[in-house]
Amino acid sequence: MEEYTVNWAVEGWQHHLERPAAWLRSGRLVAFPTETVYGLGGSAFDAAAVERIFAAKGRPSDNPLIVHVSSLEMLEQVVQREALTAEVREAMAQFWPGPLTLLLAPSARIAVNVYQRQPLVGVRMPNHPVALELIRQAGVPVAAPSANLSGRPSPTHAADVALDLAPALDALVDGGPCAVGIESTVLRLDATGATVYRPGAISVAALERTLGLDIRVDPLLSTGPTHGDARDASAPLAPGMKYRHYAPDAPVFVWSGPADKMVQAMAATMQSVHHHRVALIGPRALVLRAESTIAPVWTNALDGNDWDTYAPALAQALYASLREADRHRVDAIYVVGVPAGQEWSLALTNRLMKASEGRIFDIPER
């Protein structure tokens, strides 16, 4: 594996991408940063490269990939022209480049194992200068799931990619930490209406405000740890719907509610389940309050005085924190979640539900 560190504030950084771009074009695998998480990329035109992605991750063969493009001209090679309706073009105008994946009818050029013969393929334009330049230089759309072993927390730092996948990679482009920290929202816009199949960095409320549409959340969206929905017997339409995801080695427990009651619940759980070494991820004020009660061996105290500021901080830090907690060999990881009704709650609860295998506790005010 060759590593490339790219600082896009330095003039001439684009030249660092010439070789990994050529490798993508020739069917080899390159991991690269996006604003959401690091991706494991291969040419979406090359079925053999796509098969290598599945093998490298240990990814179930029916779990589709998302195709990344660098321009609207490249998009026309990926999807059927009639799929680009006025509603789809408006969504792209408002949210691209950005963490929005659109489910569209694939063109005949895309390798069928990208979308596992589903009727639609997920496509997005990442909002990251390194990703955009790498794809532009490669000259091919890039199929890229998260660059981690299947089921593990997604990587938001290049070092996490190397830890999971170094032997399988031809190149790793280090563009620094990911700014958003959780995966893109997956949206379908067609004659059936507007439906979110994976909640993500763009909330349903933001989509509704911006597009002026009523957005449904797929009623069969699996928020559980493994299967838990009627699509288990068939391939999921979008990634993140069916399988266990985002999970560290240590068990995860999640609480939301009044701070004092959360600390009490953590202490009670620690005692009843005999957790001797606990990691704690939460708002700074709560972490400081909890330290004398549960004495965690590692903490990540995040900024945020309310849910509107804490939630994006948790999203950005979540996966890296889960990985760091494992490095401290803890018995359990305690996380302060975001209660229902908040802007980020659907996406964060979806990730935490899968990571915790359903151990999420919403403590009422009274």
Q: Cα separation of 275 and 260, whole Å?
A: 20
Computed over every residue of the chain, the mean pLDDT equals 92
Closest CA to 131 of 100, 93, 174: 174
Q: Cα separation of 294 and 278, whole Å?
A: 8
How far from the centroid of its chain's Cα atoms is residue 110's Cα? 23
Q: CA–CA distance from 33 to each of 40, 80, 113, 132, 225 (Å)?
A: 9, 27, 23, 10, 26
Backbone φ and ψ of 253, nearest 5°: -125, 135
The secondary element (H helix, E strand) that includes residue 232 is: none
Q: What angle do CA 250, 158, 15 make, to 5 degrees?
A: 170
| Residue 222: predicted pLDDT | 47
The contacts found for 214-220 with CB under 8 angstroms, 24 or more apart, are 215/187, 217/346
| Residue 283: predicted pLDDT | 96
What CATH architecture does domain 252-362 belong to?
A: 3-Layer(aba) Sandwich (3.40)
What is the secondary structure of 86-116 as a DSSP string? HHHHHHHHHH-SSSEEEEEPBPTTS-HHHHT
Amino acid at 117: R
Do the domains 2-217 and 252-362 sit in the same CATH topology, yes or no? no
Q: Cα separation of 67 and 122, whole Å?
A: 6
pLDDT tens figures, 81-118? 999 999 999 999 999 999 999 999 999 999 999 998 78
pLDDT tens figures, 144-186? 999 999 989 999 999 999 999 999 999 999 999 999 999 999 9
CATH number assigned to the domain with residue range 2-217, chosen from the 4 options 1.10.3720.10, 3.30.1360.10, 3.90.870.10, 1.10.10.10: 3.90.870.10
Which positions of the chain have pLDDT values less than 50?
222-233
| Residue 246: predicted pLDDT | 83
- What is the residue extent of each domain of the chain? 2-217, 252-362
pTM of the model: 0.92
| Residue 62: predicted pLDDT | 81
